[in-house]
Copies of this chain bind each other. A is one copy, B any other.
Amino acid sequence: MTAEHPARRPGGRTARVRAAVHQAVIDLLHEEGWDDLNVALVAERSGVHQTTIYRRWGTLAGLIDDVVTERLTRSSPVPDTGTLRGDLEAYALQVADDVSGPLGPVFVRAAMIGTRDGEETTPRQIYLLERAVQLQAMLDRARDRGENPPTLLELMEIVQAPLYFHAIFFGRPAGTDHTLTLVDRLLALTGKS
């Protein structure tokens, strides 16, 4: 019922504009691909005026950054299954899904946009920092339960990096079995299995 009748609040129109523009970006990326995306097309598809888009997001890169950040935040809560292995497996499958779906290349490209030299900190960079804090908390919960978790860097290098590598260079998903093998490797390396 809350979902059907969200509370009215200041910013409701702003939120609707954001949702329409985000959906237009996602639809256009599915239909047209990255190279043909531009602010004029997004404006036409969303019904939101170009000047509004430029005022709010600055550039197309800023808009993409916001779309990716919002979707990552929404689609991938950090797991809390009660066991280290359960958390790591759920997290690995999430990452595999994020980077291998239709929007996978968008996520990776957006990540690269976010790391251009000399730019100020983007919302996506802030998200990545928040995400790192959440993942560290997931590992800390394992330690608090008496388990012996890997470091965050080990998790990123041994599980996350290969999943991105598969998506970028092999252009296809790592697959569920192989994704779980990466978790086995992480636990074996850090002496927990």
Contact = CB atoms under 8 A, between A and B. Distances in A.
Given A108-B112, A112-B109, A115-B169, A158 B160 contact: no
Interface string A167-193: 011010000000000100100110000
Interface in A109-167: 109, 111-112, 115-117, 128, 156-158, 160-162, 164-165
B168 A111 contact: yes
Count copies of this chain in the complex. Answer: 2
Nearest to A154: B185
Q: Which of A108, A160, A169, A189 has its CB near the most chain B CB atoms (within 10 A)?
A: A169
Contacts of A156: 162, 165, 169
A52 to B, nearest CB: 24
Contact of A115 (B33, B115, B128, B171): B171
B168 A160 contact: no
A105 interface: yes
A165 B185 CA distance: 18
A115 B170 CA distance: 8
Given A158-B162, A189-B189, 10 more contacts: A111-B168, A112-B112, A115-B168, A115-B171, A156-B169, A157-B165, A161-B161, A161-B162, A164-B164, A164-B168
Please name the 6 residue pairs, one residue from A and one from B, whose CB atoms are nearest each other, closest first. A161-B165, A157-B162, A161-B161, A115-B171, A161-B162, A112-B168
23 contacts: A33-B116, A105-B112, A105-B115, A111-B168, A111-B169, A112-B112, A115-B169, A115-B171, A128-B169, A156-B162, A156-B165, A157-B161, A158-B185, A160-B165, A161-B161, A161-B162, A161-B164, A161-B165, A164-B165, A165-B165, A185-B189, A188-B189, A189-B189
